[in-house]
A and B are shown apart, each in its own frame.
Chain A
Amino acid sequence: MLTFTIRRLLLSIPTLLLISLVIFGLLQLAPGDPMAQVPLTVPPEVKQKMREALGLGQAWYVQYYKWLVQFFWIEPKVLVDYLTNSSTLLGWLPDTSLYNGELRVISWQTRSPVMDIVAQRMPQTLWVVGLSYIVGIVIAIPIGIYSAYRHYSVFDQAGTFITMIGFSIPPFFTGPLLIVIFSVYLGWLPSIYDTTHVVNDWASFKVQFFQMIMPVMVLALQTTAQISRYMRGAMLDNLNQDYVRTARAKGLKEGVVVMVHVLRNSMIPVVTVIALGMPAIFGGAIITENVFKVNGIGQLLLTALFANDLPMVMTLTFIFAILIVLFNLIADVLYGLLDPRIRYD
């Protein structure tokens, strides 16, 4: 298992390099000009200098190489410095100061390092997306178990119908729909997610709770739909197996048979699906963040795309790619760990 993990980790390096090359290649074809916003009165030679200052004058492979160095060498150094210097977790370590003023990946919009902005935006996304994922899983697993156990019952039909709805209604429709119902007509929940809100007492916690309900539920509906269907399918596969009949025949209680024997075996594919779905939810959050005006990384990507901020787009898309590769790896390793029948070697 360990060798498999190491092999997969090593294999993911060329994969990620190739992906970054694909994204970079796509961006190189961009017809947009980052100088488009500069006033026309600026003389062309000054514009040319500004272009070079952005690093645009060189050949594409030089630009690509510089981006690689910045992303894989300089940014980690900054991160290590931050961790040892000012974070509470590792602050007790000696100050490393690896970073001494090299050029980092700079956003063209704000002229500040891209990773700093990402670090600012990440908590919002993680709160909304992460919480919605947990809520979705918590709702989905009991539904899946029960509707498989009572196959073709009323509950199963209703559960199937609701999960189908969750699959079918896109978040850009559920979002506005919920806003119309709960913010406009009923006035219970705020329609915009206020990210500057600070939680320091019970009242402010309540505000935070209320403003999180809608974005979390919109995302959780999707997760629930997906995972409960997998759960139901996996349970159905296992309920007809011989070992279940054996367990019943030796007189185990029905609860033990279903909740221990069947559930544990059915969780194997579901856990991997949960791991595989993590990065997809970051992508799906682009729309939800846009609807509820959560300024997370999905919204950051969208604004960067419209503003032609290529370093930002490149870095963000690549972060999404890293997440996908990482969680694919985690899913494979989990699958091997949970199911002893699977041997990768």
Chain B
Amino acid sequence: MTEQATPASPLEADIETIGALMDKGPSKPPRSQWRDVWDQFRKHKGAVFGGGFLLLITFAVVFGPYIWDVDPKALDIRNKNWRPVYTLLWDGGANAGWAHPFGTDQLGRDILAQMISGGRVSMAVGWLAMGLALVIGTAVGVIAGYFKWLDFWLMRFTDLVLSLPILPLVLLAVTLFRQPLNSRFGPEGGMFILIVSVIGLTSWMQTARIVRGDILALKEREFILAARSIGTTSGKIIRRHLLPNVISPIMVSATLGLATAIITESALSFLGVGFPSDYPTWGKLLADAVPRMQDFPERVLLPGIAISLTVLGVNYLGDGLRDALDPRIRGR
């Protein structure tokens, strides 16, 4: 700016050159971090669809029974083996109709109602098991990352759990503890508690590792030092300063956890160690339909598609969240 042509006074010239300094306020309103995240998230079409589909399915299974108020357990043996209503498109004489849009099973139970109530169980298991895994994983990760003297033992413990063969052990635990819990909480409640806790207790390790890694890095940053220097207690530092900063990896692993939990529950039901057979879940419906899938392929397809689409939606949601929450990718 020294090469400016003969200014009237040096001060005026400087003001003219660095015109931006004269702005009274920022030219654009400030943007919050979550707005940036939301904008990046919206760019990821799959994630928006996935999230939307997850919301849709959740609403459908929560409010579905009030709209389609057919009892999923009601037997109607005269109207058994109805085909889904779309078979009428190519086969006018098919045993189908709007009374049972998805058809009925071999005992005349309405499949749409079964799908809704099965979805309720599957989603409830998924959400609760994911929540349990997140709570355990975050707690272990934060404690291991923050308290140095616990780090070694907690991480060795995490490694030990990681090297357990999960699916065989889950199968084992479910077969072994079925009886005592069933007699305690009833066949459905006992199984629900058992499956949620077994899945939750065996899927927290990744979250713990990721959270611990992030906490270890964050702990050395200046703002934690500043917080400590003004006498903030450890609990406060964790709650006010560390946890909000690790919320993004937690959210990403939450989506992964939800997907795994839904799949594991269905796999258990499929292998015949899940819920009792008059208590439909998506996996159970699929497994029950497999022996007769030549005649009634839709009974395999419908629950299978429900599981797959839900998990696909959740995975896409996780993918979008990962991109949106990563400041290095954001804005690209």
Contact = CB atoms under 8 A, between A and B. Distances in A.
Interface of A: 15, 18-19, 22-23, 26-27, 29-32, 160-161, 164-165, 167-170, 172-173, 176-177, 179-180, 184, 279, 283-284, 286-287, 290, 301-302, 305-306, 313, 316-317, 320-321, 323-325, 328
Given A164-B312, A302-B171, A317-B169, A172 B286 contact: yes
B319 interface: yes
Nearest to A302: B271
Given A168-B312, A170-B263, 9 more contacts: A19-B160, A168-B309, A170-B311, A172-B266, A173-B300, A283-B166, A305-B273, A317-B168, A324-B163
A170 B304 CA distance: 8
B175 interface: yes
B80 to A, nearest CB: 21
Contacts of B271: 286-287, 290, 302
A324 B316 contact: no
Contact of A164 (B270, B301, B319): B319
Contacts of B26: none
A322 B286 CA distance: 33
A321 B164 contact: yes
B167 A283 contact: yes
A30 B316 CA distance: 40
A328 B316 contact: no
A67 B270 CA distance: 32
Contacts of A317: 165, 168-169, 172
Main secondary structure of the interface of B (DSSP, over half): helix
Interface stretch (B7-15, B136-144, B232-240, B290-298): B290-298
Given A19-B160, A169-B308, A302-B271, A176 B293 contact: yes
Contact of A301 (B166, B168, B286, B297): B168
Nearest to A286: B167
B176 interface: yes
Given A26-B169, A176-B293, A164 B308 contact: no
A30 B308 contact: no
B277 interface: no
Main secondary structure of the interface of A (DSSP, over half): helix
Nearest to B305: A173
A321 B316 CA distance: 32
Contact of B179 (A15, A27, A31, A184): A31
Contacts of B290: 176
10 contacts: A15-B160, A164-B46, A164-B319, A165-B308, A165-B312, A167-B259, A170-B263, A176-B304, A283-B168, A316-B168
A325 B290 CA distance: 35
Interface in B14-62: 46
Contact of B164 (A22, A165, A180): A22
Contact of A287 (B177, B259, B270, B309): B270
B258 to A, nearest CB: 12
B294 A19 contact: no
B261 interface: no
B287 interface: yes
Contact of B175 (A284, A306, A321, A323): A306
B176 A180 contact: no
B103 interface: no
A173 B307 CA distance: 9
A32 B175 CA distance: 9
A15 B172 contact: no
